[in-house]
Amino acid sequence: MKISNRAFNTPASPIRKLFPKAEEATKRGVKIYKLNIGQPDLKTPICIKKRCQNYSKDLVYEPSPGIPELISTWAKYFATDKLPVTDKDLIITTGGSEAIVFALLATCDPNDEVIVFEPFYTNYKSYAIQTGVKLVPVTLKIEDNFHLPKIEEIAKKITSKTKAILINNPSNPTGTVYKKKELQAITDLALKHNLFIISDEVYNEFVLDKKNKFISMMSFTRIRQQLILIENASKKFNVCGARIGALISKNQEIIATATKFAQARLSSPSIEQYALIPIFKTAKKYTQKICQEYKKRRDVIFEGLKKIKGTVCLKPEGAFYIIVKLPVNDTEKFCAWLLDCFNYKKQTVMLAPAKDFYATPNRGLQEVRIAYVLNSKELKKAIEILKIAIDKYNKK
């Protein structure tokens, strides 16, 4: 019995596929600094946990597009940033991942094309395979801090099959916060060629420097009928396990379509939807604080990496990731070696090889993604250990 080709072609998560090696190392008594996965160490807010604990209703299906009160409070949260999101523009999804799958299904038929900027969030690959969509990558450069190339470079990729441009701002894995000029150029391109924009803005709260500003695609008035925003509570509120995201569009045909997809999977988890309702009212207060924390960590990581000879990276501007080029030939082998063969005083680090964040084969072979999801003290130690490991690896 043969599994399908698409099942065969679906990549194992590069972030998670090193797990068995990590388990083995742990069994050998090695402490691992886990910088491979975007699972912050920060606490889930007490108010959310309390609401979970106070949930007393039976676990019945909630409405497929989400609990109305959550829809309403989430829509209002956008008003803080003067974005015109109303209740009828937003449906709740089971995580941001489901929102992206819905967006691809709504805009593309099988074999249609979506332009993406590589390196990109690696799970986009799986969503594309599941939905039969072809991702067409525009390669970004580490020396540009992964900002967009000239618009002509992007325009070149458009074919009769292109249906959408998928952009992640601030970007996982690069930490890039796109500038108004860049985003404006993308909207102009989409308007000219009649393309949808799928704007994954789940890290919107995490812009680390005052000189930069997060600009939502929704702030460009003319693009709104072609725009789908991807939203997620996971990282904003440290509730990764809640699986509550949202899909937002001013195009009511998109919302009606997403609602049909939502009906087929019945509903999103009840308790977590209910528990998230109040946090949106004080969201900015909460996220500003954790944003300060990420800024501190970013500085620790960046200063630490600068001291490792042969590394290349620019200072990330947002989210909590950095792509760094290491002085090794193949980071996939190096990351495995870190877990299998190396330890310094019974300690090692776990990183995500960047190769799988690219769609173009053999790109990013020397790069890793680091998620700065540990506190500053631990990050300092982790970087010290990484430095020792690189020295040892290159002397092998």
Q: Which of residues 84-113 bind a second copy (CB under 8 A)?
A: 94-95, 97-98, 105-110, 112
Of residues 207-266, which lie at the interface with a second copy (CB under 8 A)? 225-226, 238-243, 251, 253-254, 257, 259-261, 263-266
Taking CB under 8 A as the criterion, the residue among 21, 47, 52, 184 binding a second copy is: 52
- Name the packing angle between helices 376-395 and 283-306 (round to 10°): 30
The C-alpha atoms of residue 337 and residue 21 are separated, in whole angstroms, by 9
Of residues 359-378, which lie at the interface with a second copy (CB under 8 A)? none
Q: Would you say the C-alpha torsion 390, 394, 395, 396 has a positive or negative sign?
A: positive
Indicate the length of the chain as a whole number.
396
Q: Measured from the CB of residue 49, what is the shortest distance to a second copy in angstroms? A: 7
Q: Is 172 in the site for a second copy (CB under 8 A)?
A: no
Q: Is 278 in the site for a second copy (CB under 8 A)?
A: no
Contact 318, 170 (CB under 8 A): yes
The three-class DSSP label of residue 328 is: coil
Estimate to the nearest angstrom the gap between the alpha carbon of 5 and the chain centroid. 26
Which residues partner with 162 through β-bridges? 113
Around 209, how many Cα atoms within 13 Å sit in the side-chain half-sphere?
11
Nearer to a second copy by Cβ, of 110 and 361: the residue is 110
Of residues 21-50, which lie at the interface with a second copy (CB under 8 A)? 37, 39, 43-44, 48-49
Size of the site for a second copy (CB under 8 A): 74
Q: Measured from the CB of residue 95, what is the shortest distance to a second copy in angstroms? A: 6
Torsional class of 361: left (φ above 0), alpha (ψ -120 to 50), beta (otherwise): beta
Helix segments in 108-241, DSSP class H: 123-131, 151-155, 180-193
Which of the 8 DSSP states describes residue 346? Answer: S
Nearer to a second copy by Cβ, of 261 and 321: the residue is 261
Q: Measured from the CB of residue 97, what is the shortest distance to a second copy in angstroms? A: 4
Nearer to a second copy by Cβ, of 235 and 298: the residue is 235
Of residues 173-212, which lie at the interface with a second copy (CB under 8 A)? 194, 196
CB under 8 Å to 307, separation ≥6 — which residues?
A: 383, 387
Which residues partner with 168 through β-bridges? 200
Nearer to a second copy by Cβ, of 133 and 314: the residue is 133
DSSP code string of 355-371: GGG-SSTT-STTEEEEE
Q: Measured from the CB of residue 148, what is the shortest distance to a second copy in angstroms? A: 22
Taking CB under 8 A as the criterion, the residue among 27, 29, 58, 160 binding a second copy is: 58
Nearer to a second copy by Cβ, of 59 and 82: the residue is 59
- Omega into 119 within 30° of 0, i.e. cis? yes
Q: Measured from the CB of residue 273, what is the shortest distance to a second copy in angstroms? A: 9
Of residues 125-154, which lie at the interface with a second copy (CB under 8 A)? 126-127, 130-132
Q: Measured from the CB of residue 67, what is the shortest distance to a second copy in angstroms? A: 10
Q: Measured from the CB of residue 308, what is the shortest distance to a second copy in angstroms? A: 29
Of 51-59, 79-87, 292-300, 332-340, the segment contacting a second copy by CB under 8 A is 51-59
The C-alpha atoms of residue 194 and residue 21 are separated, in whole angstroms, by 47
Which residues partner with 228 through β-bridges? 198
Nearer to a second copy by Cβ, of 123 and 169: the residue is 123
Nearer to a second copy by Cβ, of 77 and 124: the residue is 124
Q: Is 64 in the site for a second copy (CB under 8 A)?
A: yes
Which residues partner with 248 through β-bridges? 90, 229
